[in-house]
Structure 1
Amino acid sequence: MKYRVIPVTPFEQNCTLLWCTETRKAAVVDPGGDLDRIRAAVKAEAITLEKILLTHAHIDHAGGTAELAKSEGVEIIGPHKDDDFWIQGLAMQAQMFGFPAPEVFSPDRWLEDGDTVSIGHESLSVLHCPGHTPGHVVFFHPDSKLAQVGDVLFNGSIGRTDFPKGDYNTLIHSIREKLFPLGDDVNFICGHGPMSTFGQERTTNPFVSDHRG
């Protein structure tokens, strides 16, 4: 499996293309906006977009979902159903953060912890990792030891927990009990900023490292 990160929206959100090198079938994770940029990347990589995957439903991650699904004729998968209130509140989010008002949508499939999602011949494991939002999920590709963690964990930081239904202790538990056990050598793409590994964060991240009291 290959990937390409496409920063979108004024928040520089790391929208990600993932694709199967054998079939050239692809998924786009978190199309928050700047859809022309996403379509150009799909064309440049000569891949076929077949689905949208959502880690969570904050507007910088989900704002372009309905429009892209309609224009490309693809299905929407995720996040967990506990983020439905964020989807229903997309217009309010747009007003709050100065985004164009997006269309509300209903995913074709909600995700649960332990689910799998296919991209061509590749398979992603789904981990429900609440805390930043209650319905946040992470996508993990075991064969290439790559995870797309959305806004759960960052290089040197963690996701915010001051939004409605966010919870700090829940987020810390998600990171330590769901993500770190996947292995120190797992590379992860986060929702904003540079990539890292779980090992680096377990060693140095001031919020979740082994050295934190």
Structure 2
Amino acid sequence: MKVMTLIVGQLKTNCYIIYDKKESDCIILDPGDDADYIIHVIDSHKLKPTKIIASHAHFDHILAALELQLAFNIPFLVNRKDEFLVTRMKSSAKHFLGIEVDDPPKINKYLKPLDKLKVGNYRLHIIATPGHTPGSVSIFEKNTNILFAGDLLFAEGSVGRSDFKYSDPEVLRVSLSKIMKLPKETIVYSGHGEPFTLKEFGKYWYN
């Protein structure tokens, strides 16, 4: 499985293009902004997006979703528990960054725990990892031991914010405990920053 990392938007969100190098189909994960750039990269690699998925629905992970929906005529998927954040996308971008943005994407399907999404010959397993937001999910590919963790955890032991009104630090801790049961060689691609392994994260993690 191949992963391209595109750093987009003012908050430097990692947008991931996930694909099987033997096939042209790909999945777009967390298109936080800069739709034209994302489209250019996909077209230049001759890839064909099949869906857009969000690890969670904070505005900096979905700002480009509508434009990509329209450009490629593909569905947008997010966990139902984060639907309220999709509807708040415009006001959140205005509040945190002082910018006017396009309308939020239309949700075509809800991501559910235990869902499996096909990309080429690989299967992406959806894992519920709430805490940062109620509907946060992580995406795990077990044959390559690759985990897309959204804003659950970051390099050097950092974890996602849990001080929003809808966040829950105890639930976040439970989600981290769940993820730490995956193989230690798992490579983690987070919503921001560089990739790392669970073994490296474990040096900072005290359950």
2: CA distance, partners of 1:189 / 1:146: 8
Structure 1 stretches of 4+ with a deviation exceeding 6 A read none
- Structure 2's unaligned 5+ residue stretches are none
Does structure 1 residue 166 correspond to structure 2 residue 167?
Answer: yes
3-state DSSP of counterpart to 1:181: coil
TM-score calculated relative to the size of structure 1:
0.92
1: CA distance, partners of 2:159 / 2:128: 16
Partner of 2:77: 77
Partner of 2:115: 115
- 1:55-94 alignment, distance < 5 Å: 55-78=55-78, 80-94=79-93
Q: Percent identity?
A: 26
Letter of the 1:188 partner, please give it.
V
Partner of 1:197: 197
RMSD: 1.3
Letter of the 2:102 partner, please give it.
P
Does structure 1 residue 141 correspond to structure 2 residue 141?
Answer: yes
Q: Is the 8 A contact 1:189 1:196 kept in 2?
A: yes
Partner of 1:95: 94
- Structure 1's unaligned 5+ residue stretches are none
Q: Is the 8 A contact 1:59 1:90 kept in 2?
A: yes
Letter of the 2:120 partner, please give it.
G
1: CA distance, partners of 2:34 / 2:86: 19
Q: Deviations over 1:65-107 (max 9, x none)?
A: 11210121111122x1110110111121121122332312332
Q: Is the 8 A contact 1:139 1:147 kept in 2?
A: yes
- Post-superposition shift, 1:46? 2.1
1: CA distance, partners of 2:75 / 2:121: 17
Letter of the 1:131 partner, please give it.
G
Partner of 1:51: 51
1: CA distance, partners of 2:34 / 2:70: 15
